[in-house]
Structure 1
Amino acid sequence: METNLEKKIKKICIDLSVKLRGNQAGNGNALIDYSLIEELHSTLDVYKESIHDEKMVSKEMVFALFYTCSRFYIQSTYSNNAEELIKEFNKLQYKLLHDVFGKFDS
């Protein structure tokens, strides 16, 4: 059953993915919504704690998060602000692999 937290994360992921498509910021730059990215990171901190004792998580959730992460990398190929996009990609990828879905110390 999908929790409200998972619904919130998926909505943020959809919003970010839509904003990252194309060069909507003008001058060949992708639109990077830093406040939405920060909201995703803070929500992931809460999500990490909520799944701490879980053996499995929703594959839809994992897909949504890694798809969103990959959008930063993919869009960097087409945008003039590639350096900023790669920076956000690295931060989100690290958070997902090491903080959220990494092994927990028990």
Structure 2
Amino acid sequence: MDVEVAAKLSAIGFGGITAWVTILGLLKARRSQLREDYCFAREFMGDLRTVPSDSEFLKQRGCHALTGNSTLEYRTLKYLWGLENPSQASNDYSLGFK
């Protein structure tokens, strides 16, 4: 009986440690993904100022990369960027298509 209890407790402890390590890994991955998104957004915004206005392809590809949604057009995204909370607005708008 004592061996069963010890085995169950060790399984619970091992499961808890595994869950904790997994959660910490996901949080770190999310943080690094946010940093990567920020760097890309900063580069893309800089490119928008320097790239000629006739390169619609680059604008569309950049918007697609930023939002992960190919249905958003540059004009729409530019409008969403002008709102009070542009990140949330673009997320909400792209979720409306799903």
Please confirm whether the aligned pair reaches a TM-score higher than 0.5, indicating the same fold: no
TM-score range, shorter chain: 0.3 to 0.5
Higher relative contact order (CA 8 A, sep 6+): 1
Structure richer in helix, relative to its length: 2
TM-score (norm 2): 0.32
TM-score (norm 1): 0.30
